[in-house]
Structure 1
């Protein structure tokens, strides 16, 4: 029986769907997380995500890790979160290799390339990470930037494959909903890195058309955003939800007409997945890893990071398209074929069952027409 062991730094709601899908497809899955659910998320009422039939080990002791290494050394694959980002996992990897375990696979988001210090660090990354890189037999890159970075670092670029994070439809709506006024949603931390201020600036140029705006989440920019909304005369059209439980976030997104993620940098941005699988188009900045899912106008649009006028233009196009009743169903159909957890699980099984240097096209990168619809 095929067996995969996931070595993760923490419990993750955005990795659990993939694990659950693998288990449902008959793969024996073991998940080892060195940390449990973050305290902040517990305070919001979050519980452990559903890992399905996977064997779950949360915060195991050193002795228990030794037992798990021995039990798992003959597994078909050991899948690590990050290349060398987490000290706890860095200590496990050489012990697993010494025990004869393998092959080893690294799932890696991109490194933030912004700023002089980061540029120097990224330039030195191949040298710094050379030893860790040699430990792995395959790399799963989350987004196009991660693909470019990793392919510059490894000896054989064919060892690097497209990957990401995956979720399933929320199933919160029994029937398509039509809003009287288009609803635009931002979901995430209200922080400079996520740059929610850009949304208000862009929407201030579209005050003559109907829309409502949701900010779902909390963070250091909340008070600033309220001041800016007042300055632009948008207070009555803007709602601040604060931090809410994840299921409620999914519900707000599912009934929206558009989701925007304008981040200055986002390693992935699973909120884009959450919108797309529920048939909600998205707009993302060019520095969001999950922008790779935006294959055409069906999925939404991508603007150059920091350019609020380009964002405003895309929002205007999306507001014009709200009346297209077939778009939601077409988008959901594409998502079901290309980016659900089950689709990703089948893709991962195919990658790990064959020679890792073979070319495999990620499902979301199947050839598409100009609108982003999949082609055979």
Structure 2
């Protein structure tokens, strides 16, 4: 089979996708890789600490390309080539490129999270899809579904396309496996916006309950992020007298966030809805134990394993029990840091996901490496 040209049409250069995209070119089945984006970094992501300076020379990146460049990329209709769009209409630029691509007989796929059901129930998303986007199904060969709920949704939409398990992935950061604390203080990290959807108030409430339940429960919580719930969180900490244990860092660069994760025992992601939650990837890449809600797509990385705990979303009792488990098993959790790091390196790294993506283009029923 001839080597493939792979073209990715995305809304920005994402640190949660570039690690596998840049590794595709290292595979013998791949001739060239292109990434097409309207902007390097979205303003809202930049405020959260995203940085486009990680861009690589392994990939030809087009930022805000002109019409001639777009047409040139689409006009090569070699049957071995594939075009991957970030959803259908999630971004206006990607949607316009997607519509232009319909003029060409090309292999077309979408890479997407599931519907945002935090505000709209799933049935309304289905109605919207059937009304606006059902006409595109015959033009899409593969759907790379990020998270099990996403896969279930797109399989329920149609049997005409092939729906494939997919994930975000991040750079492998961890380079010092000796950073293991020996103090009884549990180092906990939360990374995300201070919003009702990310639910950091549930974490503060559960930590306060755990502290009251066990005289041995002592912790340091690093809160990385900002958002509308900041004042409520600040007031809660003041009322519960948690300021000796809770530290607000605000929005940090990705490198600074990773520095804090490296010295953490656990990451907690208590979201009421999260299509994936790439901070779980980042935590595992640092060898960190993870506690996340069952509404996070990234729960797939820790379910039925010793890498973390999945708790019932918005249930403070269930989260409190998970936190108390940390207290009772802290020594073993710290000993497992190296094992978690190597699991991430061999199951969800850029190299591994790149190979998995290419395998799905050439083979049937490829087992996702993070589920093997």
For each residue in 1:271-297, what CA deviation from the matched residue of structure 2 results, as whole angstroms up to 9, or x when unmatched? 000001211011111111111111324
Which runs of 5 or more residues in structure 1 are unaligned?
367-376
**TM-score, scaled to structure 2:** 0.91
Q: 2:225 matched to 1:225?
A: no
In the alignment, is the contact (CA less than 8 A) between 2:13 and 2:52 conserved in 1? no
Pairing of 1:161-200 with structure 2 (within 5 A): 161-173=164-176, 175-180=178-183, 181-200=185-204
Aligned CA distance change for structure 1 residues 7 and 72 (closer, same or farther; 3 Å): farther
Name the SS for the 1:235 alignment partner: coil
When the two structures are aligned, how many residues end up with a matched partner? 360
Structure 2 matches for 1:179-258, cutoff 5 A?
A: 179-180=182-183, 181-207=185-211, 208=215, 209-258=217-266
Residue 174 (structure 1) shift: 5.3
Give the equivalent residue in structure 1 for 2:163.
160
Q: How far did 1:97 drift?
A: 3.1
Deviation of 1:177 after TM superposition, in Å, equals 2.1
Q: Is the 8 A contact 1:83 1:106 kept in 2?
A: yes
CA 38–333 in structure 1, closer or farther in 2 if over 3 Å, else same = same
CA-CA distance at 1:94 after TM superposition? 3.4
Partner of 1:371: none
Structure 1 counterpart of 2:324: 316
Deviation at 1:71, TM superposition (A): 4.5
Q: Which has the higher contact order (CA 8 A, sep 6+)?
A: 2
Which of 17, 31, 36 is the matching residue for 2:19?
17
Shift of 1:95: 2.4
Q: What is aligned with 1:4?
A: 6
The corresponding residue for 1:112 is 116
2:277 is matched with 269
How far is 1:147 from its partner?
0.9
CA contact (8 A) 1:23 1:52 kept: no
| C-alpha distance in 2 between matches for 1:280 and 1:3 | 36
Question: Does the alignment pair 1:362 with 2:355?
Answer: no
Distance, in Å, in 2 between the alignment partners of 1:219 and 1:165 is 24
Residue deviations 1:33-73 (CA, integer Å, cap 9, x gap): 12221235556583332334110101112233223222576
Q: Does 2:69 match 1:64? A: yes
Match of 1:346 in 2: 355
Give the TM-score normalised by the residue count of structure 1.
Answer: 0.90
Could you list the structure 1 runs, at least 4 aligned residues long, displaced by more than 6 angstroms after superposition: none
Residue in 2 aligned with 1:374? none
The corresponding residue for 1:293 is 301
